[in-house]
Amino acid sequence: MSAAEPQDAAQTPRVAEVFLAFLRQGLTAFGGPVAHLGYFRREFVERRGWLTEAAFADLLGLAQFLPGPASSQLGMAIGLRRAGYAGMFAAWIGFTLPAAVAMIVLAYLTPQLSQTWGEGWIHGLKVAAAAVVLQALIAMARRLAADPLRAGMAIGAAAGVLIARGSESVPQIFALCAGGLFGLAWLRDLPWEPPQDDPATHAVPPSISAAAITAFAVLLMVLPFAASLLQAPLVGLASVFYRTGALVFGGGHVVLPLLEREIVGRSWLDQDTFLAGYGAVQALPGPLFSFAGFVGAAQVYAPAGWVGGVVAILAIFAPSLLLVVGLLPFWDRLKRYPQARGVLAGVNAVVVGLLAAALWHPVLTSTVQRAADWALVAAAWVFLSIAKLPPWLVVIGFATATGVLTRMPI
């Protein structure tokens, strides 16, 4: 049954099957985006047999090509292939729901936890976040900026963003555009192994695809004007998170620099709480983009609480849902153009620089207050990268340890 066929009674059990399968992943898939891809392959290729290896590789290539969270987009594409459009939504909801609910609840609990534990637990979360970002930066640099040209692009992007510190996210957007142009000019001939094709992965009609791409572009352009014209805080909140979801290349960790400029830069949320939420999401299974639920529920610009959290979650994932549907029919042709691969390589190199800039500011500049904090960050990185402890254990351990230590009498 193709993704283009209408949903009917016979397909309803399949949609429920997709939801439950991805809900299980949302409850158990710890370890971040790279680990999620391994979980998905084991579950949907080896265990359930929903996809062939060729189909999985094809959909993974699409997910890594698009902006947004690769693991969530892969899940959407698997759900789309398995049970049509309802299956795509079922996969997204099942995978996202546990972490999103947990992050919104944490936004409610943060003031009470601060009163009970003091600021020590927040400091531990920030230390863990710094170590996680450092680990992600090293892994991404090895993969996406491995040669001198791309390394230079990454360094230039990091320096430019740190020097500019312009309003909102303009420096990041400019850097991404410049990276795409550099890649188009000089990175078209990088070694590339095309994934095998599976025609069953391309079952969206061109009319539906065109409508999805149009909706993606219209929302990206119209939401900022609508927020300004209507003076509606929830529309403004949706605009910020939609724009972030549309521009995040490189995976969930890169959501940090874009959202920090948009949210903390506008004084919608203080930096300590922002980084504490980012540290906390590392301890959860499911997509890192669920961090949006915490920010939306904790910010002070629009209605906060669960309403703000739900709006932020819907807005940040909406570009991915539209792009998966919009580009799936064209993926066969698009992936074979060296120009497209060059643009992607350039953008990914710049993404490494953006993450490096975010590691310095706001992560380290906000976290390291004394010499001992450098040792804490280094220790957390050793636990993650050398000892290979799971991120959730490092996050909980450092938050608990610093929370207890700061309350002990000296």
pLDDT digits (tens, 9 = 90+) for 131-185: 988 988 998 899 889 899 999 999 999 999 898 875 456 788 888 889 999 999 9
In a domain, 393, yes or no: yes
| Separation between Cα atoms, residue 331 and residue 197, nearest integer Å | 10
Residues in the chain with pLDDT values less than 50? 1-9, 167
Domain containing 92: what range? Answer: 12-403
Rounded to the nearest 5°, which phi and psi values hold at 198? -135, 110
- What was the pLDDT predicted at 198? 63
In a domain, 351, yes or no: yes
108-116: which pairs have CB atoms within 8 A and are 24 or more residues apart?
108/297, 108/305, 110/273, 110/276, 110/277, 110/298
In a domain, 115, yes or no: yes
Rounded to two decimals, the pTM is 0.87
Burial 273-288 (b: 16+ CB within 10 A, else e): bbbbbbbbbbbbbbbb
In a domain, 96, yes or no: yes
In a domain, 289, yes or no: yes
Give me the residue label for tokens 């001939």. Answer: 189
pLDDT digits (tens, 9 = 90+) for 6-36: 444 456 788 999 999 999 999 999 888 878 9
- What was the pLDDT predicted at 406? 63
Query: How many domains does the chain contain in total?
Result: 1
Cα–Cα nearest to 243, from 269, 267, 225: 225
Burial 87-126 (b: 16+ CB within 10 A, else e): bbbbbbbbbbbbbbbbbbebbeebeeebeebeebbbbbbb
In a domain, 409, yes or no: no
In a domain, 1, yes or no: no
